Amino acid sequence: MHGGGLSHGKDIPDIAGDKIYGIRSFTVRLGQQRVFWICISLLQMAYLVALSVGVISTCIWSKWITVIGHTVLASLLWNRANSVDLKSKTAITSFYMFIWKLFYAEYLLIPLVR
């Protein structure tokens, strides 16, 4: 899911070039705002699944780290997503790089899921 959010999100700032060169990306077909929120939804679903795995964990320390860690990551994503100016290529690109940081933070949490 994280990969899906990243792969569709990378096209959002490039909508002008995609239109010029006739590339019918999701962003061109559906619009920046719609694709942006689809990506956010995919990422939030991934966090919800990970949080659910944490909730049912039998290992208490893993449960707490997984639940708190994914709640923090999901909250950071939601707060940042609500402040992105979709008219600014710089803001969208910055947000895309932020998603990569969340992706790497996820790799720090994965070994703790039991």
Q: How many domains does the chain have?
A: 1
The reported pLDDT for the residue numbered 42 is: 93
pLDDT of 70 over the 90 cut:
yes
Query: Which of 25 and 98 is assigned the larger pLDDT?
Result: 98
Q: What is the pTM of this model?
A: 0.87
Helix (H) or strand (E) holding 35: helix 32-55
Regarding predicted confidence, which is higher, 21 or 78? 78
- Note the pLDDT of residue 34: 93
Over residues 25-42, the mean pLDDT reads 91
pLDDT at 6 over 70: no
Q: Which domain holds residue 44?
A: 2-112
CA distance 102 to 41: 15
